[in-house]
Protein backbone atom coordinates (compact mmCIF):
# COMPACT_ATOMS: atom_id res chain seq x y z
CA UNK A 1 0.00 0.00 0.00
CA UNK A 2 1.67 3.19 -1.21
CA UNK A 3 1.75 6.05 1.22
CA UNK A 4 1.64 9.73 0.31
CA UNK A 5 3.90 10.44 -2.65
CA UNK A 6 5.20 13.84 -3.70
CA UNK A 7 7.06 14.98 -6.79
CA UNK A 8 9.55 16.27 -7.53
CA UNK A 9 11.86 15.66 -4.58
CA UNK A 10 13.93 18.76 -5.18
CA UNK A 11 13.40 21.84 -7.30
CA UNK A 12 15.45 24.94 -8.03
CA UNK A 13 13.80 28.06 -9.42
CA UNK A 14 14.65 31.72 -9.79
CA UNK A 15 12.76 34.71 -8.46
CA UNK A 16 9.63 35.55 -10.40
CA UNK A 17 9.16 32.07 -11.84
CA UNK A 18 6.20 29.80 -11.24
CA UNK A 19 6.30 26.29 -9.80
CA UNK A 20 3.93 23.32 -9.56
CA UNK A 21 4.28 20.62 -6.93
CA UNK A 22 2.35 17.37 -7.02
CA UNK A 23 0.92 15.01 -4.42
CA UNK A 24 -0.77 11.62 -4.57
CA UNK A 25 -2.66 10.72 -1.39
CA UNK A 26 -2.50 7.47 0.50
CA UNK A 27 -4.85 4.81 -0.85
CA UNK A 28 -8.37 5.33 0.51
CA UNK A 29 -7.83 8.99 1.40
CA UNK A 30 -9.79 11.79 -0.21
CA UNK A 31 -8.52 14.92 1.54
CA UNK A 32 -5.20 16.64 0.86
CA UNK A 33 -3.57 19.36 2.94
CA UNK A 34 -0.44 21.34 2.08
CA UNK A 35 2.10 22.74 4.52
CA UNK A 36 5.18 24.92 4.16
CA UNK A 37 8.15 24.18 6.40
CA UNK A 38 10.86 26.84 6.39
CA UNK A 39 14.31 25.85 7.58
CA UNK A 40 14.36 25.40 11.35
CA UNK A 41 10.61 25.98 11.71
CA UNK A 42 7.52 23.89 12.21
CA UNK A 43 5.20 23.30 9.25
CA UNK A 44 2.66 26.04 8.46
CA UNK A 45 -0.74 25.17 7.02
CA UNK A 46 -1.32 26.50 3.49
CA UNK A 47 -4.68 25.02 2.47
CA UNK A 48 -6.79 21.89 2.35
CA UNK A 49 -8.69 20.31 -0.55
CA UNK A 50 -11.70 18.04 -0.35
CA UNK A 51 -14.12 17.12 -3.13
CA UNK A 52 -12.00 19.21 -5.52
CA UNK A 53 -12.63 22.38 -3.55
CA UNK A 54 -10.46 24.45 -1.23
CA UNK A 55 -12.04 23.97 2.20
CA UNK A 56 -9.64 25.80 4.48
CA UNK A 57 -6.83 28.25 3.92
CA UNK A 58 -4.00 29.44 6.12
CA UNK A 59 -2.36 32.86 6.11
CA UNK A 60 -0.74 32.66 2.68
CA UNK A 61 -1.06 35.12 -0.22
CA UNK A 62 -3.01 34.44 -3.39
CA UNK A 63 0.25 33.58 -5.15
CA UNK A 64 -0.29 30.17 -3.57
CA UNK A 65 -3.05 28.23 -5.28
CA UNK A 66 -4.01 24.63 -5.63
CA UNK A 67 -6.12 22.08 -7.33
CA UNK A 68 -7.52 18.66 -6.57
CA UNK A 69 -8.32 16.17 -9.29
CA UNK A 70 -11.12 13.57 -9.41
CA UNK A 71 -8.62 10.86 -8.38
CA UNK A 72 -7.92 12.93 -5.22
CA UNK A 73 -4.38 13.86 -6.23
CA UNK A 74 -3.45 17.49 -5.80
CA UNK A 75 -1.20 20.24 -7.09
CA UNK A 76 0.25 23.25 -5.33
CA UNK A 77 1.10 26.21 -7.55
CA UNK A 78 3.20 29.18 -6.50
CA UNK A 79 3.44 32.21 -8.80
CA UNK A 80 5.96 35.05 -8.80
CA UNK A 81 8.39 33.18 -6.58
CA UNK A 82 10.19 35.08 -3.84
CA UNK A 83 13.40 34.13 -2.05
CA UNK A 84 11.28 33.59 1.06
CA UNK A 85 9.34 30.83 -0.65
CA UNK A 86 12.36 28.56 -0.27
CA UNK A 87 11.16 25.76 1.99
CA UNK A 88 10.15 22.13 2.28
CA UNK A 89 6.59 21.72 1.04
CA UNK A 90 4.73 18.87 2.68
CA UNK A 91 1.58 17.19 1.52
CA UNK A 92 -0.64 15.31 3.96
CA UNK A 93 -3.62 13.12 3.19
CA UNK A 94 -6.54 11.97 5.31
CA UNK A 95 -10.06 10.66 4.99
CA UNK A 96 -12.93 13.11 5.07
CA UNK A 97 -13.11 16.44 6.84
CA UNK A 98 -15.19 15.44 9.83
CA UNK A 99 -14.08 16.09 13.34
CA UNK A 100 -13.23 12.51 14.06
CA UNK A 101 -10.49 10.84 16.00
CA UNK A 102 -9.99 8.57 13.00
CA UNK A 103 -9.05 11.44 10.69
CA UNK A 104 -5.30 11.34 11.00
CA UNK A 105 -3.03 13.12 8.54
CA UNK A 106 -0.26 11.10 6.90
CA UNK A 107 2.62 13.05 5.41
CA UNK A 108 4.72 12.61 2.31
CA UNK A 109 8.49 13.13 2.24
CA UNK A 110 8.09 16.62 0.82
CA UNK A 111 9.43 18.70 -2.04
CA UNK A 112 12.37 20.92 -1.24
CA UNK A 113 12.09 24.16 -3.20
CA UNK A 114 15.05 26.49 -3.51
CA UNK A 115 14.48 29.95 -4.98
CA UNK A 116 17.62 31.73 -6.19
Partner 1 sequence: AQSVTQLGSHVSVSEGALVLLRCNYSSSVPPYLFWYVQYPNQGLQLLLKYTSAATLVKGINGFEAEFKKSETSFHLTKPSAHMSDAAEYFCAVARPAQKLVFGQGTRLTINP
Stretch that binds partner 1, among 13-21, 22-30, 60-68, 101-109 (CB under 8 A): 101-109
| From 74, 85, 108, 113, residue interacting with partner 1 (rule: CB under 8 A) | 108
If the CB atoms of residues 44 and 86 are measured against partner 1, the closer one turns out to be 44
33 interacts with partner 1 by CB under 8 A? yes
| Residues 53-82 close enough to bind partner 1 by CB under 8 A | 55-56, 58
* HEC string for the chain: CCCCEEECCEEEECCCCCEEEEEECCCCCCEEEEEEECCCCCCEEEEEEECCEEEEECCCCCCEEEEECCCCCEEEEECCCCHHHCEEEEEEEECCCCCCCCCCCEECCCEEEEEC
Question: Smallest distance from the beta carbon of 34 to partner 1, in angstroms?
Answer: 11
Per the DSSP assignment, residues forming a β-bridge with 50 are: 31, 53
User: Quick check: 21 binds partner 1 (CB under 8 A)?
Assistant: no
By CB under 8 A, name the binding residues for partner 1.
Answer: 4, 31, 33, 35, 40-45, 48, 55-56, 58, 90, 92, 94, 97-99, 101, 103-110
Amino acid sequence: DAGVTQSPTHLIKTRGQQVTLRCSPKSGHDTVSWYQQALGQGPQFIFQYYEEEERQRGNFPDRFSGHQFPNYSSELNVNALLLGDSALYLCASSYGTGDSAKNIQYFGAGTRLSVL
